[in-house]
């Protein structure tokens, strides 16, 4: 049940008439060292950590270590409940939840780095918003996590999820692809639709640079997680509606790596360019590092 590319994954899904989550679950049991019970325990633990990271900043927000963020998630969540919100409940929750996780990460709280700490808000933001808006069970979210992990595994193996290596497109882009694919499966889409959602999500964020102010995973990282979450929801909607992308998943993964490596080093997590390189960004960096 092992697979090393998106095409191999789709072939297995077709041959055995299985969703991506089931293929990934079987791979964990046959290629890994965990028992079925242990895999279930891990999924419960992951989901519990994600849920805590989403909820804590919405009830008791606190400032980040660098002081650049803190309280934004609650403001967005509160605004989303008013008649002035333009996003709708699912999108508003996904945005605020994703931002909340970054606040936990930036204040040295416990998060799940899926696939990285800098993009850790996207997957829980989207999955938990979907659960809350559609009343999904935790078991359903386990399938979403397994689906997302299959996409993440392929991108880590064949591309990159490192901002230092390939820019923020690799971190938030990968997280957005993982979340989009998971949503499609949870909403009844086929494995092919899942990969289409992932492809569209990656293509939408190609070229996004990594330029954290003061070198901290705070700003603009937090708002970019909200963009990744919104992108995931949008791409899932497109794929479920039958919209396709002409480039296959494996080619898009390779393209993301090539684009990332062509991004100047100043824009790959060095805090030397982009937002970090502006006069205000430099001044904030100097004041924080004093």
Q: What integer is the mean pLDDT of 191-200?
A: 98
Comparing CA positions, the residue from 210, 281, 211, 217 lying closest to residue 66 is 217
User: What local confidence, expressed as pLDDT, does residue 176 receive?
Assistant: 98
Q: What integer is the mean pLDDT of 179-204?
A: 98
Q: What integer is the mean pLDDT of 250-263?
A: 98
Q: What integer is the mean pLDDT of 144-173?
A: 98
User: What local confidence, expressed as pLDDT, does residue 1 receive?
Assistant: 78
pTM for the whole structure: 0.97
pLDDT band at 197 (very low <50, low <70, confident <90, very high): very high
Report, in angstroms and rounded to the nearest whole number, the Rg of the chain calculated over CA atoms.
18
Q: Each residue of 13-57: pLDDT tens digit? A: 999 999 999 999 999 999 989 999 999 999 999 999 999 999 999
Residue 185 Cα to chain centre, angstroms = 16
User: What local confidence, expressed as pLDDT, does residue 156 receive?
Assistant: 98
For domain 6-289, the question of CATH label 1.10.150 is answered with no
Where are the domains positioned within the chain? 6-289
User: What local confidence, expressed as pLDDT, does residue 44 receive?
Assistant: 98
Q: Is the pLDDT assigned to residue 243 strictly greater than 90? A: yes
Q: Is the pLDDT assigned to residue 290 strictly greater than 80? A: no
How many CA atoms, within 13 angstroms, populate the side-chain half-sphere of residue 136?
21
Question: Is-contact 231 180, C-beta < 8 A?
Answer: yes
User: What local confidence, expressed as pLDDT, does residue 222 receive?
Assistant: 98
Q: What integer is the mean pLDDT of 144-158?
A: 98
Q: Each residue of 77-105: pLDDT tens digit? A: 999 999 999 999 999 999 999 999 999 99
The token pair at 282 is 């430099």
How many CA atoms, within 13 angstroms, populate the side-chain half-sphere of residue 192?
10
Q: How far apart are CA 272 and CA 258, in angstroms?
A: 21
Comparing CA positions, the residue from 210, 209, 145, 139 lying closest to residue 179 is 145
Q: Is 188 exposed, middle or buried (0-12, 13-18, 19+ CB in 10 A)?
A: exposed
- Supply the mean pLDDT for the chain: 97
Could you give the percent of the chain with pLDDT greater than 90?
98
Interacting residues of 71 by C-beta distance below 8 A, sequence separation 6+ = 57, 61, 63, 103
Q: How far apart are CA 155 and CA 21, in angstroms?
A: 16
Question: Which phi and psi (to 5°) does residue 137 adopt?
Answer: -80, 165
pLDDT band at 199 (very low <50, low <70, confident <90, very high): very high
Name the region of 215 (left: φ>0; alpha: ψ -120 to 50; beta: rest): left
């Amino acid at each position: 049940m092992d697979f090393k590319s998106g095409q191999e994954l789709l072939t297995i899904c077709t041959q055995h008439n299985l969703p991506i989550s089931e293929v990934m679950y079987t791979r964990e049991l046959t290629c890994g060292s965990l028992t079925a019970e242990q895999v279930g325990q891990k999924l419960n633990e992951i989901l519990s950590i994600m849920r805590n990271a989403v909820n804590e900043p919405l009830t008791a927000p606190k400032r980040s270590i660098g002081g650049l963020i803190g309280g934004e998630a609650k403001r967005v969540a509160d605004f989303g409940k008013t008649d002035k919100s333009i996003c709708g409940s699912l999108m508003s929750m996904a945005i605020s939840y994703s931002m909340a996780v970054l606040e936990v990460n930036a204040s040295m709280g416990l998060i799940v780095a899926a696939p990285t700490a800098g993009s850790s808000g996207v997957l829980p933001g989207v999955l938990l918003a979907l659960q809350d808006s559609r009343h999904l069970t935790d078991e359903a979210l386990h399938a979403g996590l397994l689906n997302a992990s299959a996409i993440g595994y392929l991108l880590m193996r064949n591309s990159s999820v490192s901002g230092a290596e390939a820019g923020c497109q690799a971190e938030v882009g990968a997280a957005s692809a993982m979340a989009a694919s998971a949503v499609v499966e949870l909403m009844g889409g086929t494995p092919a639709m899942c990969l289409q959602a992932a492809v569209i999500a990656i293509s939408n964020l190609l070229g996004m640079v990594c330029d954290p102010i003061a070198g901290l995973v705070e700003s603009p990282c937090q708002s970019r997680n909200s963009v990744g979450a919104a992108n995931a929801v949008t791409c899932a909607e497109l794929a479920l509606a039958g919209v396709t992308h002409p480039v296959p998943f494996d080619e898009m993964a390779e393209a993301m790596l090539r684009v990332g490596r062509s991004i100047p080093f100043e824009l790959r997590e060095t805090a030397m360019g982009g937002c970090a390189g502006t006069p205000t960004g430099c001044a904030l960096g100097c004041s924080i590092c004093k």
